[in-house]
Structure 1
Amino acid sequence: MTIDYKDKLKSSFLPFTGILLCFLIALYIRTIPAESVFIGENFVRFGGNDPWYHLRNVESILHNFPSMLWFDAYTQYPYGTDQVFAPLFDMFLATIIWIIGMGNPSTELTHTICAYYPSLLGAVIVIPVYFAAKWIFGDRRIGLLAAFLVAIAPGQFLSRSIIGFNDHHVAEALLSTVVAMFLIFGLKRSEEHDLSLASLKENGLAQIKPILPYFLLSGFFLGAYTLTWKGALFFSFIIGVYITAQHIIDHMHGRSSEYLAIGGMAIFGVALIMVLLAPEIGGTKSRQIFGLAAGLVAFPLLSVLSYYMKEKQLSRYYYPLSVAALFGGGILLARMFSESAYALVSSVFSYFMRTGGGLTIAEASPLLMRSGEFTLQPLWYNFGITAIVSFFALLILAYIAIYRRNNREQTFLIVWTVMIIWAMLQQNRFAYYYSVNAAILSAYIGIKVLDLAGWKDIRSPFAETTSNISGWFKQIKPVHALALVLVVLVLAYPSYDLSMQQNQGTGGPNGYWIEATQWMKYNTPDPGLDYYESYEKPPEGQLFSYPDEAYGVMSWWDYGHWLEVIGHRIPNANPFQQGIGGRRNSMDEENRPGASTFFTASSEAEATAVLEAVHPDPEKAGARYVVSDVEMATGKFYAMAAWTLDTDNYYVQAQTNQGTQTVPGERYFNTMEARLHLFDGDGLTQYRMVHETPAANTAEAGYKQVYNALFDGNIEVVNTGYVKIFEYVDGATITGQAPEGEKVTITNTIRTTTGRTFEYSRSTTATDGTYEFVVPYSTEGPVQGQTQFDTAPTGSYEVSFGDTTESVRVSESAVLNGGEIEV
């Protein structure tokens, strides 16, 4: 026994050391940009958008432990929203933090653990990748190389597991790989031990004991995966496709397929129990239940059909035709008798396909399309050379499957890989799944190359005939070393080089947005809700009852979570694509009120009508503040227009010194976004700038230059505040007398936060001997309990006509309450 134990320990030392090194390498790569995450004093900058909402969930759980935030009143004003994410990712993370913090974790501890968590998960994935590759090909060398390749993988997998990007995506990749790992070993064991109803009758539970635990573990992690991502039917569908394909393969070769029914039912049964116990899964619980239950029915049905056709000695070719007929008949029945069931089936084929504004979501765009053009560059960015190598390996395995006999595990790898490729070609975000497949397939080719060079004949350094490391080195010849260097240079170096280029930052809010949202937190009125309170969801068909002082903040959906989590204010639109408004499928649809319709509105009156329509109560506005950044005014503007499906004429062709170029046109400069950001709200009656951040080197000056050139404008060609915050107010009405038909002008000089000034002016014509202006700025400064603005007039308003000039002071109360000042 002692000798066996020592031998086992010696043989495990090399793979254990290799996996540990891969883990440490992966963790190192992912934590390099820590300085860009931990910035300032006690501020952690999380990457992207959704990581901020995961932080929101974790903080809420910790303040109400162990309750989940099932309804959030602090976003999508004035409706609030049900929990969009599946609960396990945040609940598990919050529990870890709660335990480490001994029931009262500090904010600093919470944010620090949340920041490092994705890097840890991204490094842990080397373990299931090692075992999956090892069990598929029966070679731990392939497992070690696959673990190394996934550890240094660039692209989407790196960006979604880097420090600070605390999103559920890395957990998806990890858990789906663990599901595959245990399924693969269950399949491997099922080849070694006959698993059928006959063998169970003959040998009882002893026959199933070596196999069933792995299928049950696969089901447990499929359940965990389902509770982590609401789109988890995707991987359940992959398993279902594999089991169907393997049924056909086994039947065509005259083999029993009962192990597939038993294993599939065990996997889906455990996952279904876990789903049934969950309160909700991002609004998809019923869909998950239906999908898993369908598998529980379909898997034994496929086996029964195979058994029946063998007993009746029917042609083997009838079986795949019968399976296809069953599948088609099921869809037809669903369409005839159950709209919800049919919607579920059809959604499997359309889930990854977006149209209209949905295509402007960066992670949802097709992998090989950029600006409407086909390109292979994303393959290199995401996988390096392993993209090509893995496709080559897939062809080899497909050839073996067709013309030779491959094993069940390799068939699963083929199906798994093809399905992931199908998904990522439609939405590039799924490239982080394919990094696992690319690593396994490329490792297979890499070890084959080494074997061709003679590495298969080199004995392990722990073998009895080798006895030590020096004896192992003596076996290595120049050809072996050359092959090893070649494999490393071809497979590993490009990926490592790309990863080291791509891991220099985590994204997320820049300094301008951090400053702007923190300014809002401390300088705008409290919206009347406790940020950490878990509010009850309103009854079906009713609105959440917001306090009278509550209000929304209108901005583009990209910034909703930052406004909520950093600024503690309630956005109208958010990265769940809620509150965007516009149209989805056709120009015949109503252009619904929301962020897209507000910012593309062609006049102040139209924009205000949208703002008012956002709130179902006609006495209340949908938002009190409007936040714009220079990206919305330039690069992101087309996305806002795309959500309305009406994109014509915002940009036009113009002759310049550099030839014909596409430039913003008249329709663009009339939009509310241009009026606010490029023109500082000059001439608007109910929108006033209350804060702006410093400027940056952006495209803003170029847009202004185009305006001056094409429309005889005279605005200053400079970059102004990167982020600008405006307040929607009733406006003060200034009235006076002037000769009939006389042109009357009102002006004021506004000094912004940064010290720059711009002119606010409006003109009108006196009618019946009177004139009237509605103005948004107060000349008397802020009042307690209201906006503590730091952008304001430098003096009185000047009203002039003919040779007459009058100075007018306007109180903050008049601006907020629609007061009237008579000159």
Structure 2
Amino acid sequence: MDRRKSYEAWGVFGALVLGLLMRLIPAKNSIVDGDVLFFGYDSFYHLRRIFFTAENFPTTLWFDSYLNHPLGLDLTWPPLFDQAVAAVAILFGGGIRAVEMTAALAPPILGAGMILTVYILAKKLFGTRVAILSAFILAIDPKHIGRTHFGVADHDVLESLLIFSALVLLTYALSERDGRVWFGAAAGALLAAVAYTWLGAPIYMGAILIYATIQVALDLRGGARTQETIVPLAATFGTALLLILPFWDEPWLVPSFFGALGSLAALGVLCLLSRLFAEKKVTWIAFIPAVAVSGYAAILLGYVTGAAPKAQILLSSGLDYFFLGGAAGQRIAEAAPLHRTLDFPSLPFLGFAVALLGLGVAISSASRPRLPRDRALFLIYAAFTLVLAIFQVRFLYLFSISGSILVALLFFWASDRLKASGRAGPSTTKALSIALLALLLLPSFVGVGEIGRYRPEVSGDWMETLDWMEKNTPATAGYEAPFRAAEYGILSWWDYGNWILYLSERPVVANNFQAGARDAALFFLSEDEVEAVAIAEGRDARYVATDAKMVYSKLPAIASWADEDPESYITIYTHWDLVTYDHKKRFMGTILARLHLLDCSNLGHFRLVFESNNSVGLIFPTREVKVFERVSGATISGTTSYEKPMGAILEMTSNQGRRFQYYNSAIPVDGRYEITVPYSTDATTGTRAMGPYIVGPVEDFVGGDFREVEVTEEDVLSGRVVEANF
């Protein structure tokens, strides 16, 4: 091996090792006493499904009664990621530790595989120096690391690796005359694997079709044979369709089936149109408009005739999801458009701008009559992922992959021009080039410094709460075979559903698939306890879990799910890094406020049973996480001569030793009052009373006519009436 090859091999190896180490650093905050705490929210449901698959291999979970309690939920996640992780875990013994460690290690290993794939593509298209720098840039890219580090057990990393590997194979299919069909077929196999990994695989098929349309137009401009573009792509979609066919009518594969079938049909139309243009000598400039008109006419004809209604629905919903964020586009942070989440000026914005400049350089250098097909494919894919990221910030990780090559191109473009100018000596030019590279990589360098501080979102107060929930709430049946509704469910905001399900092993009303999210929102923002109880009873929710984020940062999203104006509950002011919250009077009347901030005062059917250790908030100091129990409530009732409100006060202490006061009241009717209360006075552990209820006229509590009333736990659970006459 000559010295140049040796340097190249060591460079690639160094990038792989660096990238793997960067992605393993978060393990130091993720492994606690030998157990793995996973990051994010979706990871926890992947773990549930991986465990089920490992125990029932190769069968996976397609219906889960522990979701959307008590209705259950059909699952439409394609299974390949979960099945692959389960299969590897089985090879290592299949126990709890084997499954969790395999799932935690899969993202960094696959992420390192992406670094190698980027190197291969960049070397083919732009040469060795761009390839090695691209590999190093991706190795330290914080956006990519954020999706591929230890403990992020999600399908994103496998899906992106598969589609980018398919892209590499397509570049060979489009540039190598020998074996182009075989390269295209191999790319089709990987495209089918993407379909078995992600429900949104048709978006990549759409990107390839966009490329095909533009490339055929370029072929017509240059007088090249359009078959050299269409044939390998037909092999790609044909192979993908064949591999999809065995399960084509499964809900999780139907979109990809129609995507592959429609793509083959679209290639046929491109072939016919290109021949017509060549024979009639129509200008190539009209080709793309002609394709657009033909596509629109086909869609319009389908709507008019009612042909393929399922395909039309899938097309409409797919476009809505990717470019408008779908039904939850305004309610989920990662589905928000880029301009709402990327602050200007900021280092993340600088990183995005650098990649954008690189794309501009790549496009300008490619503006020549005979742009190679493989380069055109890369540029169109990069532009397409850029558009996805602009519409939804969650797709920034996709753009970061091609962005690593674009940044490398930008650096060498600027560096070469600096050298060619001859205005500075060799040492000065070298120093300026190093400074330029440091500037381009500054956002990544800063992001790398943050990696060591990555902590699983579930750690801390939520982990304490989930552990308590598992040990102190009644166990439910069917966790390992979730095919029938369990005895009761837990209602929380959907963000936390997967945590409760996986770590506490309890059914949830709402989880990260947004099933049950609207009912949860309506419950928390209800201003009437009767209405809230009806929702909880309809969902058979025995416990309710809340946290401070629901009161603050998540409140606008909760309001949006309930079709309410967030501004009627809270106004959020942001000034640089300072965020302040201004709660409105309406919010204080909601069930959420009365639960989390007022410890169930003015409620008769919910009681605090647990709160976590840490306190948050200045205006409304409260514990980070709280758990409440829905109970029948005891009714303190009796005769009274008072016509003004009668009240009941109870001195309480929480499980953390925090003292608080419960209060409720009622207006007498026809000389009789009824006050429903949720706390008993005979509990001796956990959240408990410090004495009896003090019951009397609200206006005359101090030194006036009042009664001390004892309420037993049985009274509360059975809904008994406790007499206290005046």
Q: Same fold (TM over 0.5)?
A: yes
Instruction: Kindly state the Cα deviation for residue 637 of structure 1 after the two structures are TM-superposed.
Output: 1.4
Does the 8 Å CA contact 1:780/1:811 hold for their aligned counterparts? yes
Aligned counterpart, 1:412 = 377
Aligned counterpart, 1:808 = 709
Does the 8 Å CA contact 2:419/2:429 hold for their aligned counterparts? yes
CA distance in 1, matches of 2:86, 2:645: 65
- Counting only pairs closer than 5 Å after superposition, residues 517-556 of structure 1 correspond to structure 2 as 517-529=466-478, 531-533=479-481, 535=483, 545-547=484-486, 550-556=487-493
Q: 1:484 to 1:794 in 2, by over 3 A?
A: same
- Counting only pairs closer than 5 Å after superposition, residues 96-175 of structure 1 correspond to structure 2 as 96-101=88-93, 105-137=94-126, 139-155=127-143, 157-175=144-162
Does the 8 Å CA contact 2:556/2:570 hold for their aligned counterparts? no
Structure 2: any 5+ residue segments left out of the alignment?
574-579
CA distance in 1, matches of 2:428, 2:239: 50
Does the 8 Å CA contact 2:632/2:716 hold for their aligned counterparts? yes
How large is the Cα RMSD of the aligned pairs? 2.6
CA displacement, residues 222-250 of structure 1 (integer Å, 9 cap, x when unaligned): 11112111111111111111011111111
- One of 333, 337, 360 as aligned partner of 1:362: 333
Does the 8 Å CA contact 1:652/1:664 hold for their aligned counterparts? yes
Does the 8 Å CA contact 1:357/1:645 hold for their aligned counterparts? no
CA displacement, residues 407-431 of structure 1 (integer Å, 9 cap, x when unaligned): 1112112211111111101100110
- One of 655, 665, 689 as aligned partner of 1:753: 655
Instruction: Kindly state the Cα deviation for residue 611 of structure 1 after the two structures are TM-superposed.
Output: 2.4
Aligned counterpart, 2:456 = 507
Q: Is 1:350 aligned with 2:320?
A: yes
Does the 8 Å CA contact 1:29/1:500 hold for their aligned counterparts? no
Aligned counterpart, 1:83 = 75
Instruction: Kindly state the Cα deviation for residue 325 of structure 1 after the two structures are TM-superposed.
Output: 2.7
Q: 1:280 to 1:330 in 2, by over 3 A?
A: closer
Instruction: Kindly state the Cα deviation for residue 820 of structure 1 after the two structures are TM-superposed.
Output: 2.5
Normalised to the residue count of structure 1, the TM-score between the two structures is 0.81
CA displacement, residues 457-504 of structure 1 (integer Å, 9 cap, x when unaligned): xxxxxxxxxxxxxxxxxxx96367436524532333542332222452
**What amino acid maps onto 2:263 in structure 1?**
G
- Counting only pairs closer than 5 Å after superposition, residues 613-692 of structure 1 correspond to structure 2 as 614-615=538-539, 622-647=540-565, 648-651=567-570, 663-692=582-611
Once the two structures are overlaid, the 10-residue window that deviates more, 492-501 or 290-299, is: 492-501
Q: Secondary structure at the residue paired with 2:224?
A: coil
CA distance in 2, matches of 1:304, 1:279: 28
Instruction: State percent identity of aligned pairs.
Output: 30
Q: Secondary structure at the residue paired with 2:517?
A: coil
Q: Secondary structure at the residue paired with 1:821?
A: strand
**What amino acid maps onto 2:439 in structure 1?**
V
CA displacement, residues 362-421 of structure 1 (integer Å, 9 cap, x when unaligned): 111111214xxx84357x427x54x33433332333334444432111211221111111
Does the 8 Å CA contact 1:335/1:342 hold for their aligned counterparts? yes
Q: Which protein is richer in helix relative to its size?
A: 2
- One of 687, 693, 696 as aligned partner of 2:612: 693
Q: 1:67 to 1:355 in 2, by over 3 A?
A: closer
CA distance in 2, matches of 1:24, 1:653: 43
Q: Is 1:563 aligned with 2:550?
A: no
Instruction: Kindly state the Cα deviation for residue 25 of structure 1 after the two structures are TM-superposed.
Output: 0.5
Q: Secondary structure at the residue paired with 1:688?
A: strand
Once the two structures are overlaid, the 10-residue window that deviates more, 446-455 or 330-339, is: 446-455
CA displacement, residues 675-724 of structure 1 (integer Å, 9 cap, x when unaligned): 1111111121100111111133x22x31x3xxxxxxxxxxxxxx332111
Structure 1: any 5+ residue segments left out of the alignment?
1-5, 194-207, 456-475, 536-544, 582-593, 616-621, 655-660, 705-718, 783-788
Instruction: Kindly state the Cα deviation for residue 449 of structure 1 after the two structures are TM-superposed.
Output: 4.3
Q: Secondary structure at the residue paired with 1:176?
A: helix
Q: 1:88 to 1:357 in 2, by over 3 A?
A: closer
Q: Is 1:737 aligned with 2:725?
A: no
Q: Is 1:177 aligned with 2:164?
A: yes
Q: 1:489 to 1:326 in 2, by over 3 A?
A: same
Normalised to the residue count of structure 2, the TM-score between the two structures is 0.91
Q: 1:560 to 1:441 in 2, by over 3 A?
A: same
Q: 1:494 to 1:546 in 2, by over 3 A?
A: closer
Aligned counterpart, 1:727 = 629
Q: Secondary structure at the residue paired with 1:58?
A: helix
Instruction: Kindly state the Cα deviation for residue 555 of structure 1 after the two structures are TM-superposed.
Output: 0.9
Instruction: Kindly state the Cα deviation for residue 54 of structure 1 after the two structures are TM-superposed.
Output: 0.9
- Counting only pairs closer than 5 Å after superposition, residues 697-712 of structure 1 correspond to structure 2 as 698-699=616-617, 701-702=618-619, 704=620
Does the 8 Å CA contact 1:749/1:758 hold for their aligned counterparts? yes
Aligned counterpart, 1:585 = none
Once the two structures are overlaid, the 10-residue window that deviates more, 393-402 or 595-604, is: 393-402
CA displacement, residues 526-574 of structure 1 (integer Å, 9 cap, x when unaligned): 2222x12253xxxxxxxxx525xx1121111111101101111111111
Does the 8 Å CA contact 1:168/1:228 hold for their aligned counterparts? yes
Q: Is 1:820 aligned with 2:721?
A: yes
Instruction: Kindly state the Cα deviation for residue 270 of structure 1 after the two structures are TM-superposed.
Output: 1.9
Q: Secondary structure at the residue paired with 1:572?
A: coil
Aligned counterpart, 1:35 = 28
Instruction: Kindly state the Cα deviation for residue 120 of structure 1 after the two structures are TM-superposed.
Output: 1.5
- One of 562, 569, 574 as aligned partner of 2:511: 574
Aligned counterpart, 1:496 = 445
Q: Secondary structure at the residue paired with 2:229?
A: helix
CA displacement, residues 59-103 of structure 1 (integer Å, 9 cap, x when unaligned): 1111222210111111111111112422111110111111122xx
Q: 1:176 to 1:652 in 2, by over 3 A?
A: closer
Q: Is 1:329 aligned with 2:297?
A: yes
CA distance in 1, matches of 2:229, 2:481: 48
**What amino acid maps onto 2:652 in structure 1?**
I
**What amino acid maps onto 1:152 in structure 2?**
I
- Counting only pairs closer than 5 Å after superposition, residues 374-389 of structure 1 correspond to structure 2 as 375-377=343-345, 380-381=347-348, 384-385=350-351, 387-389=352-354
Does the 8 Å CA contact 1:268/1:292 hold for their aligned counterparts? yes
CA distance in 1, matches of 2:228, 2:718: 74
Q: 1:396 to 1:663 in 2, by over 3 A?
A: closer
Q: 1:651 to 1:362 in 2, by over 3 A?
A: closer
Q: 1:736 to 1:109 in 2, by over 3 A?
A: same
